[in-house]
Structure 1
Amino acid sequence: MASELLDALTLLEKEKGISREVLIEAIEAALISAYRRNFNQAQNVRIDINLENGSMRVFARKEVVEEVFDPRLEISLEEAQKINPNYQVEDIVELEVTPKEFGRIAAQTAKQVVTQRVREAERGIIYSEFIDREEDIMTGIVQRQDSRFIYVSLGKIEAILPANEQMPNEQYKPHDRIKVYITKVEKTTKGPQIYVSRTHPGLLKRLFEIEVPEIYDGTVEIKSVAREAGDRSKISVHSDNPEVDPVGSCVGPKGSRVQAVVNELKGEKIDIVKWSDDPVVFVANALSPSKVLDVIVNEEEKATTVIVPDYQLSLAIGKRGQNARLAAKLTGWKIDIKAESEAREAGIYPRNEQLLTFDEEEDTEEEYTID
């Protein structure tokens, strides 16, 4: 019995990662429940498990009192002092009450309780592991799909990928390996519930952290991300080190780094632009790949009017307004785009004191777009 018990505890500790102390507590709780249920006892009892010889004994715990009202929970001072003369009122006396059939009955009755406690402890370990991975990226394997969710195995647990977090240009098949972004970890009565996403902007950020060592070590920082999953995204990057080109670092040799991210996102187009604390420069960069002639800033309304060459107007606005919309999300500024001819007629361009001019050479240094 002793060797079997020790072997079982060692195996569970190794395979499930549950400490022996937790398992012992589960067994003790199960045996107390078994004793009370099978022997119709309501005493306050304690279970003693001897791991050396495998014995299990039951002790009734009774309080020493002057007058006994409930013999199941109390013992008189006179009776207590027959056991040990040193007992005083309010002391606790332990009396062994192990039934002859306790071992067999306890083993049968306790099995379910022990299993439940082990399962709860295992769920707690999984929850603790994954709660620290919220807003992180993991590689999972597609398991199955129903009308609402795709279920992705993350090893110890199956995560849920809701329909609104799935990329519209992707099809998910069983056994596909995909990278997912953990958006939420919940503790439920059925165990931890993990929600993941393929559309969250955080996924794009984490992918660049994986591919670009300069981002991982903090030399280059991703300042903001704007994403329309499956179609196009923009990220702004910055480095405090003047010798580091943040855009070039993200692009990589021959575009290898950004191409790896594009491949993972099944061809999603990505614009990489240089961040600036000057809204004029930042908004101009954010409208990549279009060219910008001028940016007029309204600080009070946090709005900008952007002047672009006539032939660049549709490019600046983008298909269904996508380029302008993403640029506004990226910068946090409202953006109103006007063609050069319209701006001249309105008398807002050129201004007497031009804040900044943008030429083709500067633009190619400040932005990178991969289609």
Structure 2
Amino acid sequence: MSSQLFEAIEFLSKEKGIEKEVLLEALEAALISAYKKNFKSASNVRVELNEVTGKMSVYSRKTVVEEVEDSQQEVSLEEARLSDPNHEVDDIIEVEVTPKDFGRIAAQAAKQVVTQRVREAERGVIFSEYIDREDDVMTGIIQRKDSRFVYVNLGKIEAKLAESEQMPTEEYLIHDRIKVYVTKVENTSKGPQIFISRSHPGLLKRLFEMEVPEIYDGTVEIKSVAREAGDRSKISVHAQDPEVDAVGSCVGQKGQRVQAIVNELKGEKIDIVEWSEDPKVYVSNALSPSKVTEVLVNEEDKATTVIVPDYQLSLAIGKRGQNARLAAKLTGWKIDIKSESDAKEEGLLGETEETYSDESEDLFE
């Protein structure tokens, strides 16, 4: 039975990818527990495992005394000197106490404890593997869903896609393969838990990194992302090298690169704009596809008044204020949009009636 235990340890080590030393430590703990339980021992014992012979030995630590009062904790000086004449009173020695049928009892008792340790070790391996995937994109297969979550198989673990992290325009079908953004990896008492998202702005950013080599190698930098998942997004990009067309790199030849991302996001519209450190230029670019006549900047309040042609007003604001709202999120500047005729009437001095900012989404309910 002992040799079979060691064979099982070897197999589990290779099969589960767990270090053999971890499993051997689990086996030792199981054997100590089995000995104390089956032989009513409260003494300090140690188990010695011999992988070559398959032998398991139990040793009890005992104190050398003149007269033994507790045989489980003490050994007489006379008996101690049989093994070593130099022993003295109060010495601590180890005495082998291995029962004859210990192998059978130990195998039965060890199974549950070793199984538990294997499970814990597996969890540790899985956690270590996935913790590095936080803020990254992974591909998984939808396994099942309920009223709260869509469960996605990511290989060694099933991740949870909460309703709040789902794209409202997307249907999740069993066995569909989807890309998800890993928002958090936790090591809980129930094992590793992975939380994923399809609506997080980070998904859009990672998809561009995967699709655009210039972003992956750092030639083009993503400066900001604003997203209303399933509907529309804006992303600002910049290249230090003036010879590099940052927007063109992201769009790709005949729009192939951005179209691949649009397809992955089930038709979500994506505006790619050029970042600029000049807020006038940046805000103007962010309001694409509308044309902007002029941008007035209030540095103190980090606010802008944007003047657009009369016929461009509705396009600049967007449906339910979406274009202006996304531009404000993207740039971090408050944006007040006025038509040219209104701006002329007010002399660009009047208080604005509507302000769009990344802190005022409730204005567009």
TM-score (norm 1): 0.90
Task: Please name the residue that 2:127 is paired with.
Answer: 127
Question: Equivalents in 1 of 2:293, 2:169: separation in Å?
Answer: 35
Q: Which moved more, 1:81-90 or 1:43-52?
A: 81-90
- 8 Å CA contact 2:27–2:114 kept in 1: the answer is yes
Instruction: Write the distance in 2 (CA, Å) between the matches of 1:260 and 1:234.
Output: 16
Query: What secondary structure, in the 3-state scheme, does the structure 2 residue paired with 1:111 have?
Result: helix
Residue correspondence of structure 1 range 1-371 to structure 2 within 5 A: 4-64=4-64, 71-75=71-75, 79-87=79-87, 91-348=91-348
> Using the alignment, how far apart are the partners of 2:2 and 2:41 within structure 1?
27
Other structure's SS at 1:230 match: coil
Q: Is the 8 A contact 1:58 1:97 kept in 2?
A: yes
Q: How many Å separate the matches in 2 of 1:141 and 1:333?
A: 39
CA separation in 2, counterparts of 1:286 and 1:167? 23
Q: 1:181 to 1:90 in 2, by over 3 A?
A: farther
What are the superposed Cα offsets for residues 214-239 of structure 1, whole Å, 9 maximum, x if unpaired? 11111111000000000000000011
What is the CA distance between 1:187 and its match in structure 2? Answer: 1.4
Could you tell me which amino acid in structure 2 is paired with residue 142 of structure 1?
Answer: I
RMSD, aligned CA: 1.7
CA distance in 1, matches of 2:347, 2:98: 99
The residue that corresponds to 1:368 in the other structure is none
In structure 2, relative to structure 1, the CA distance for the partners of 1:62 and 1:282 (3 Å cut) is same
Q: In the TM superposition, what is the alpha-carbon distance from 1:141 to its structure 2 partner? A: 0.4
Kept after mapping to 2: 8 A contact 1:2/1:52: no
Q: Which amino acid aligns with 1:312?
A: Q
From the superposition, tell whether residues 272 and 83 of structure 1 become closer, same or farther in structure 2 (CA, over 3 Å).
Answer: same
2:61 and 2:94 in contact (8 A); partners too: yes
Deviation of 1:66 (Å)? 7.4
Task: Give the drift of 1:189.
Answer: 1.2
CA distance in 1, matches of 2:347, 2:64: 99
Structure 1 residues 301 and 87: CA distance shift in structure 2, 3 A: farther
- For 1:304 and 1:63, locate their aligned partners in 2 and report how far apart those are by CA, in whole Å: 84
The residue aligned with 2:363 is none
1:74 positional shift: 4.0
- 1:2 & 1:97 partners in 2: Cα distance? 17
Q: Is the 8 A contact 2:2 2:103 kept in 1?
A: no
Shift of residue 7 of structure 1?
A: 3.5
Matched with 1:357 is: none
**In the aligned structure 2, how far is the partner of 1:278 from the partner of 1:64?**
85
Distance between the aligned counterparts of 2:297 and 2:88, measured in 1? Answer: 85
Alignment deviations for residues 61-108 of structure 1 (CA, whole Å, 9 cap, x no partner) = 224467877543344555433421334566531111011121111111
Question: Given that residues 2 and 51 in structure 1 are in contact (C-alpha distance below 8 angstroms), is that contact kept between their aligned partners in structure 2?
Answer: no
Contact 2:57 2:96 (C-alpha < 8 Å) held by counterparts: yes
User: Relative contact order: is structure 1 or structure 2 higher (C-alpha 8 Å, sep ≥ 6)?
Assistant: 1
Q: Write the letter of the residue equivalent to 2:206.
A: R
**Structure 2 CA distance for partners of 1:334 and 1:79, relative to 1, 3 Å:** same
Q: Secondary structure at the match of 1:193?
A: strand
Count of residue correspondences: 349
Contact 2:2 2:56 in 1 (8 A): no
CA distance change for structure 1 residues 334 and 74 in 2, over 3 Å: closer, same or farther? Answer: farther
**Which ranges of structure 1 fall in alignment gaps of 5 or more residues?**
350-371
- Contact 1:211-1:257 at 8 Å conserved across structures: yes
Deviations 1:34-61 (A, max 9, x none): 1111111111111111110111111112
Return the letter of the residue paired with 1:115.
T
Please say if residues 144 and 152 of structure 2, whose CA atoms lie closer than 8 Å, have aligned partners that are also in contact: yes
Given the two structures, how large is their TM-score scaled by the length of structure 2?
0.91
